[in-house]
Amino acid sequence: MTYFAHSTAVIDDGCQIGSETKIWHFSHLMTGCQLGERCNLGQNVVVSPQVTLGNNVKVQNNVSIYTGVHCEDDVFLGPSMVFTNVINPRSAVNRKEEYQKTLVKKGASIGANATIICGNTIGEYALIGAGAVVTKSVPAYALVVGNPSRQIGWVSQYGHQLAFDENGQATCPETKQKYQLKDNQVSYLK
């Protein structure tokens, strides 16, 4: 076995788990889910069938990742954040065929207690603030907060807010990486 699972974790048959992944107390991986390498799942995490997590995905305590969610590499899911997978759930109506897909792209972070309504895409390196309720797709590098969420700025790959000059350029204060803002889209200048 090339991954670690705490003795209280439940891992159903048919899960794919990458090397160096850690699965902590009382977590449940359901048949057909796929976890990449070096993932870390905190306690009381549920990963439903057909969910895919890329490499180095960090899932904090008390997160349920429902069918229809795909997280690319280096995604951070904060404590008790929530995904949905049906727009209009009803206990008496079976809507398993109506699951909507949610994509969380490379390097994005979702803060504690945030809610992501299904059918949306969270762009690369976007930062979703704690408690935000995301009701629409979020652009790459966007900083969004509130209920319903609204964009209040842009962030670097290291999560620092960017201040763009009159030429639409900004520098990450930590890494000195350069970014360009053009047509309401941010790109990393290599």
Give the chain's domains with CATH numbers: 4-86+98-159 (2.160.10.10)
Q: Which residue has 């895409």 as its token pair?
A: 121
Token pair, residue 38, equals: 């070096």
Model confidence, pTM:
0.97
Contacts of residues 159-164 at CB distance under 8 Å and 24 or more positions apart, as own/partner, are: 159/109, 159/127, 162/186
Q: Going residue by residue through the chain, which has 190 residues, state the pLDDT in tens, using 9 for 90 and above.
A: 699 999 999 999 999 999 999 999 999 999 999 999 999 999 999 999 999 999 999 999 999 999 999 999 999 999 999 999 999 999 999 999 999 999 999 999 999 999 999 999 999 999 999 999 999 999 999 999 999 999 999 999 999 999 999 999 999 999 999 999 999 999 999 8
Token pair, residue 4, equals: 């670690």
